[in-house]
Amino acid sequence: MAAATQRKKIEAELEQAKDTAETANRAKSTFLANMSHELRTPLNAILGFSQLMNQDANLSTAQKDHLGIIHRSGEHLLTLINQVLDLSKVEAGRMVLSTNNFDLHYLLANIEDMFVLKAKDKNLQLRFDCAVDVPQYICTDEIKWRQVLINLIGNAIKFTASGSVLVKVGISAQMHRGSGETTITFEVVHAIDAENRG
């Protein structure tokens, strides 16, 4: 009898813990949905005004370039916000790759534009070196790839005190023969200027 009573007690506690976890998950999902909405509202205003300002015929080429960077960065942030709810998919083990064909060279140029001013503020030189055999168009998950590169380059600039940050893009020597796949490698290298070497 004692063992049966103990088992029922444990089962009741497990059921209560399950209910508590499900309630917490529902609250988290509601919070994420509300936050993504609250963030989208001002961001859409930023994107809208950047488009409106770009129509000004009196803008210089440099000003148009800067507005372009603001707009592209805002669009990327909006994409991230729209995917905030994917966090719950990760925890549930349901995250999948969303592959699409895109221009890798254009993506790299956009990321470079995003970070060039940040690097300049720290008196760093940001350089991208893309090997000639790297294909321009690739098929993979563009959004996740972009997120990883932004995290890597952002951390490199953050933790580099002097010199330059070099982003090297190349093709891996280990090819997937017969599969039609190519492995593209990325290296983020911190280089110290000769005049700063001790």
Bridge partners (DSSP) of residue 127 are 166
The pLDDT tens digits of the residues spanning 104-142 come to 998 898 888 888 878 888 899 999 999 999 999 999 888
The pLDDT tens digits of the residues spanning 160-189 come to 988 999 999 999 866 555 566 788 999 998
Q: What integer is the mean pLDDT of 44-67?
A: 85
Dist CA 142 CA 139 (whole Å) = 8
For residue 12, pLDDT beyond 90: no
Specify the pLDDT at position 25: 72
What domains appear along the chain, each with residue ranges and CATH number? 2-91 (1.10.287), 100-196 (3.30.565.10)
Confidence of residue 93 (pLDDT cuts 50, 70, 90): low
Q: Are strands 100-103 and 164-171 parallel, antiparallel or unpaired?
A: unpaired
Instruction: State the chain's mean pLDDT as an integer.
Output: 79
What is the reported pTM? 0.58
